[in-house]
Every structure is written in C-alpha cells, then in structure tokens.
C-alpha cells in the first residue's frame, strides 16, 4: 500500500499545500480534487517520485519510497498531463516504446489487442499526428490495458474523452481495482468507480513560507 504523512510542496517561495496525509490500499482509489493551482498535479508528481517533497514522508509497502525507489517504480504507472505520445510514431510504435521504457516490453498480439479494445481498431499504424485529440488520449490509455503495475497515478485521465470513452475508462479502472490494484487520480468531474474510494481536497489558501531555514 501507499501511505504519505504530512506532505508539503513549495513552488518558488510559495507553499502550495502542507500537512497532506493519504493512504491507498489494494482495491482502493483516491480522487484528488481542488481548484486550479491548488497543487493537484504537483501532489501526483511528488507521489510518483518525479518532484522532491518539501516536507513529509511517502511509504510504499511500509518502507520509505526513497529506499525502495526501483521496486516502487517497477510497480508504478504514471500518466501525466503530457501523454508521452510521439506525433511521428504510430499508435502501435508508441505503445511498444513506452512499454519497453517502463521495463515491460509487449508482444505484438497484446499491443494490438489493447489498441483494439480502446477503440483504435484499424488506426494502429497511423502516425499519432493525424489522430484526433481524443484518439491520442486513447493511445496513452492503451498503456493501462497492458499494464501489470499495482499502482496507477493518473493526472486528469478523463480529459478530452467522449461519453463512451469515459465509460470505457471507468470499466478499465474498475477491472484494475477488482484485481487488487490501487488508483490515485485527479478529475474535475464526479466519477463512479467500484471498490472503496475516498477523495482528498487540496484547498488551503496559499500562504507565504514562514521561518525557512
């Protein structure tokens, strides 16, 4: 499980949030909410280990993430604002590369099946450049279908998706949770997911950083 105590994040000399506690156990999801600029993305990046924590501790399976970084990253799937899609590569090539970089190369059949299920049948070999915004998001989301990661951290996964795609993503997330996966995501909309879930609201008004030393 993932647990964090007293997280704080600074941007410049401004404190974005402080004293954030959270925990996610297998089968559970956590929705991070808050106004624009409240630090949702920053929190997710901190949890993924991309950004440094100003204060606080993050534990993975009871041990500080800093100590088990490789193991943690091997079990983590992070999808940020930027979908890591190369415009000049086809959907299939994109999927293959991202999977290989994540340390789990895919075979052709799995990759094709994933793209088909996400609704890109017949578009596997088109360069991402000619796909629509929503279709590009789907290429990124196809990674979820081939992922063995225990913990998914998704930043605004529902953005630019139509109603059908939202429903489909929900069912993918439900499957993940029912397999004992963990999920942390941000979204502006209310989402119905299976399993136990909680929501975390980031909304402390920005205050100047005090007594820094």
Q: What does the chain come to in residues?
A: 213
Terminal alpha carbon distance of the chain: 33
SS3 104: coil
Size of the site for another protein (CB under 8 A): 38
Asked if 5 touches another protein (CB under 8 A), the answer is no
Burial bucket for residue 114 (CB in 10 Å: 0-12, 13-18, 19+):
buried
- What's the CA gap between 140 and 83, in Å, rounded? 6
Nearer to another protein, 93 or 174 (CB): 93
Asked if 108 touches another protein (CB under 8 A), the answer is no
Asked if 186 touches another protein (CB under 8 A), the answer is no
Alpha helices for 11-68 (secondary structure H):
40-48
- What's the CA gap between 142 and 136, in Å, rounded? 10
Burial bucket for residue 125 (CB in 10 Å: 0-12, 13-18, 19+):
exposed
Within 138-167, the residues that bind another protein by CB under 8 A are none
Smallest distance from another protein to CB 148, Å: 12
Asked if 74 touches another protein (CB under 8 A), the answer is yes
Asked if 101 touches another protein (CB under 8 A), the answer is yes
Asked if 209 touches another protein (CB under 8 A), the answer is yes
Among 8, 54, 68, 89, binds another protein (CB under 8 A): 89
Containing 177, the helix (H) or strand (E) segment is helix 163-178
Among 36, 70, 122, 132, binds another protein (CB under 8 A): 70
β-pairing verdict for 55-60 and 151-155: unpaired
- What's the CA gap between 96 and 68, in Å, rounded? 26
Asked if 12 touches another protein (CB under 8 A), the answer is yes
Asked if 86 touches another protein (CB under 8 A), the answer is yes
Smallest distance from another protein to CB 96, Å: 7
Part of the chain binding another protein (CB under 8 A), chosen from 1-9, 70-78, 108-116, 182-190: 70-78
* Residues making contact with another protein (CB under 8 A): 12-13, 48-52, 70, 73-74, 76, 78, 80-89, 93, 96-98, 100-103, 105, 127, 208-213
């Amino acid at each position: 499980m993932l647990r964090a105590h007293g997280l704080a994040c600074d941007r410049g000399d401004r404190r974005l949030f402080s004293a954030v506690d959270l925990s996610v156990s297998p089968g559970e999801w956590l929705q991070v909410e808050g106004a624009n600029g409240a630090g949702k993305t920053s929190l997710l990046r901190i949890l993924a280990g991309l950004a440094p924590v100003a204060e606080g501790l993050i534990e993975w399976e009871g041990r500080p993430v800093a100590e088990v970084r490789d193991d943690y990253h091997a079990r983590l799937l992070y999808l940020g604002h930027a979908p890591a899609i190369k415009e000049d590569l086809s959907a299939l090539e994109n999927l293959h590369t991202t999977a290989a970089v994540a340390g789990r190369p895919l075979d052709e059949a799995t990759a094709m099946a994933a793209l088909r299920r996400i609704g890109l049948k017949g578009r596997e070999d088109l360069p991402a450049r000619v796909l629509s915004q929503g279709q590009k998001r789907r290429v990124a989301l196809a990674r979820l279908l081939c992922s063995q990661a225990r913990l998914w951290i998704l930043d605004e996964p529902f953005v630019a998706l139509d109603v059908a795609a939202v429903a489909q993503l929900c069912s993918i997330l439900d499957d993940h949770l029912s397999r004992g996966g963990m999920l942390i995501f941000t979204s502006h909309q209310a989402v119905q997911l299976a399993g136990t879930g909680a929501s975390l609201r980031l909304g402390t008004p920005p205050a100047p950083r005090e007594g820094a030393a």
